[in-house]
């Protein structure tokens, strides 16, 4: 998967391992197409990056909705306003 500008990473589907710390052992969550190019449209359990961050913060014992920082006179949070903990992967 190479493009003209030299960027070959995949921004539509990716894999990661999460182990220990309250993650369900042996659980597979989501899917990509046969080539691993992008997340399958029919899959109901896609995880947005904000959801991933919310889940990881939850596993660390932090409430992602209360973890904010002030910038330019406005409060921001890592999970924006969309992040939800993915409870299906929690043990």
Q: CA–CA separation, 19 vs 23, rounded Å?
A: 6
Q: What are phi and psi of 43, to 5 degrees?
A: -75, 130
Number of domains present in the structure of the chain? 1
84 assigned to some structural domain: yes
- Judge whether residue 8 has pLDDT over 70: no
Hey, CA dihedral for 26, 29, 32, 34, is it positive or negative? positive
Q: Average of pLDDT values for 20-42?
A: 77
What's the whole-model pTM score?
Answer: 0.73
Domain that holds residue 79: 49-89
- Judge whether residue 10 has pLDDT over 70: no
20 assigned to some structural domain: no
Contacts of 52 (CB under 8 A, 6+ apart): 86
76 assigned to some structural domain: yes
- Judge whether residue 58 has pLDDT over 90: yes
Q: CA–CA separation, 57 vs 51, rounded Å?
A: 10
Residue 42's H or E segment, with its range, is none
């Amino acid at each position: 998967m190479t493009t003209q500008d030299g960027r070959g990473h995949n921004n539509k589907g990716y894999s990661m391992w999460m182990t220990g710390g309250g993650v369900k052992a042996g659980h597979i969550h989501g899917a990509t197409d046969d080539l691993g190019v992008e997340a399958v449209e029919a899959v109901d359990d896609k995880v947005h990056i904000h959801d991933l961050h919310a889940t990881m913060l939850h596993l660390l014992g932090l409430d992602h909705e209360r973890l904010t920082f002030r910038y330019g006179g406005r409060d921001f949070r890592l999970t924006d306003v969309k992040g939800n903990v993915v409870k299906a992967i929690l043990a």
